[in-house]
Amino acid sequence: MTRSKRKWVAKNGEFELGALLGGCLPNLHCIPFSSPTGGELEYSLINQITDMPHRTELYQDVPSTCWPIVYSPGYNITFMGLEKLHPFDAGKWGKVINFLKEEKLIADDMIVAAREATEEDLLVVHTRRYLNRLKWSFVVATITEIPPVLFLPNFLVQRKVLKPLRTQTGGTIMAGKLAVDRGWAINVGGGFHHCSSDKGGGFCAYADITLSIKFLFERVEGVSRATIIDLDAHQGNGHERDFMYDNRVYIMDVYNRYIYPGDGFAKRAIKRKIELDWGTEDKEYLQKVEMHVAGALNELRPDVVIYNAGTDILDGDPLGGLAISPQGIVKRDEIVFRAARTHRVPILMVTSGGYQKRTARIIADSILNLHSLGLIDKNLATGEAKSSEVELMLRTTPLLEATQLPV
């Protein structure tokens, strides 16, 4: 229900609410507006009246023995070779996990198993009209940029293409709560930053970033401000459109100014916009990232950071058009996590775009580097640190005096 004006009836100096939404509020005596017992007064409802959040399987307790790393084998898209018709490596998420296992950082029983987002979960952000459009194969073919999908029965499209994306979306929502509980979380998939509530595109069918933030706002006490740091090579026009008029969300976006999507309207939502030229290299890129991440977190201290860590900035990426080295990507992630730790802000990382086979190895190397530096502290992901202690560390420890970069 949106904000509205209601007629209230004065009776013996007290207000009693008449019929609301076709019924009575609990513990209130309903009397007709025409009642002779009192005069009519107009009263503006101050707070928006909303339904209680729906029941979801995505916000369940996670064993303390699990790291806040979210993944499911269901992330990977494999069907008759169709996934090879798009430059995106539709199996990179499983490769990242395999690399981390090889390095003995994690094991299967230490990973949080992602759950598929249900229709009710998706309706927190998406319109029903948009979700119904996904029942047409040609719509999905357009969004995923895989033309042969057009000729598949939609039940196959749902099972083989959209279900993996819904599972990654569920993983991002789950990782949002984990980040707040543990101080950090990584969804090995997700980052569908071109999708908004009513439109998909660029291989993004569900607005997982928007959903993770909306879930936190609705369900987690103390989370009322969020900062999105979008460092994918492409502009994140989906979440920008979703949060265009929401001052609770601060968006920083660093992207190649010359490539898709070039969404001028969505750019109006960006609070800190850094547009890059073709072939931008490590030195310039990392200087700008470090300066502006610090500036963003100094400008508005959020309750959570959502970090869209696309690897399509890698030199040679067929779509990104930038020239960042593997070492530059690892350093970039380090800069963002260090800034979040310095400011005592929980951080959720999603992996987003990256269109070369070697990006899985780079993502794994970056996670290993974060661990080696203590920026993803193992203790915070085990029984040695309870969520209350994480809360204390992140929210109540006085900030250390530090020399800040110019903003």
Segment 262-276, tens digit of pLDDT: 999 999 999 999 999
| Residues 6, 28: Cα–Cα separation, whole Å | 15
Query: 3-state DSSP call for residue 254?
Result: strand
Q: What are the residues whose beta carbons fall under 8 Å from the beta carbon of 378, sequence distance 6 or more?
A: 67, 371
Predicted pLDDT of residue 363: 98
Select from 110, 85, 114 the least CA-distant residue to 100.
Answer: 110
Query: CA distances (Å), 330 to each of 67, 236, 373, in order?
Result: 20, 21, 12
The DSSP bridge pattern shows strands 347-350 and 184-187 to be parallel
DSSP, residue by residue, 297-339 = HHHS--SEEEEE---TTBTT-TTT--BB-HHHHHHHHHHHHHH
Which residue is it, tokens 């869209």? 308
Cis-peptide, bond into residue 26, ω within 30° of zero:
no
Q: What are the residues whose beta carbons fall under 8 Å from the beta carbon of 100, sequence distance 6 or more?
A: 69, 106, 364, 367, 368
Q: What residue type is 16 in one-letter code?
A: E
Residue 66 belongs to what domain range?
Answer: 57-380
Predicted pLDDT of residue 22: 35
pLDDT tens digit at each of 407 positions of the chain? 333 333 333 333 333 333 333 333 333 333 333 333 344 333 233 233 446 899 999 999 999 899 999 999 999 887 655 545 545 566 899 999 999 999 999 999 999 999 999 999 999 999 999 999 999 999 999 999 888 899 999 999 999 999 999 999 999 999 999 999 999 999 999 999 999 999 999 999 999 999 999 999 999 999 999 999 999 999 999 999 999 999 999 999 999 999 999 999 999 999 999 999 999 999 999 999 999 999 999 999 999 999 999 999 999 999 999 999 999 999 999 999 999 999 999 999 999 999 898 999 999 999 999 999 999 986 654 433 344 444 444 444 444 333 344 43
| Residues 103, 99: Cα–Cα separation, whole Å | 6
DSSP H or E stretch at residue 296: helix 282-299
List the strands of the sheet with 69-71, edge to edge.
112-113, 69-71, 184-187, 347-350, 304-308, 226-230, 249-256, 272-276
| Residues 333, 339: Cα–Cα separation, whole Å | 10
Residue 389 falls inside a structural domain: no
Query: CA distances (Å), 33 to each of 2, 4, 43, 245, in order?
Result: 21, 17, 13, 36
Q: What is the number of alpha carbons within 13 Å of residue 31 lying toward its C-beta? A: 15
Q: Which two tokens stand for residue 93?
A: 């998420």
Task: Count CB neighbours of 263 within 10 A.
Answer: 19
- Number of domains forming the structure of the chain: 1
**Phi, psi (rounded to 5 degrees) for 403:** -75, 120
Task: Count CB neighbours of 111 within 10 A.
Answer: 19
Residue 106 falls inside a structural domain: yes
**CATH number of the CATH domain containing 90:** 3.40.800.20
Q: What are the residues whose beta carbons fall under 8 Å from the beta carbon of 306, sequence distance 6 or more?
A: 176, 209, 212, 213, 226, 227, 228, 229, 347, 348, 350
Residue 21 falls inside a structural domain: no
Residue 129 falls inside a structural domain: yes
Residue 92 falls inside a structural domain: yes
Residue 149 falls inside a structural domain: yes
Query: 3-state DSSP call for residue 3?
Result: coil
Q: What is the dihedral of CA 177, 178, 179, 185, to 10 degrees?
A: -130
Residue 138 falls inside a structural domain: yes
Residue 31 falls inside a structural domain: no
Active-site residue 371, yes or no? Answer: no
Helices 163-182, 387-395: inter-axial angle, 10-degree rounding: 70
Contact 252, 293 (CB under 8 A): yes
| Residues 311, 326: Cα–Cα separation, whole Å | 9
Which candidate in 193, 194, 292, 343 is catalytic? 194
| Residues 133, 143: Cα–Cα separation, whole Å | 11
Q: Which two tokens stand for residue 183?
A: 């101080």
Predicted pLDDT of residue 276: 98
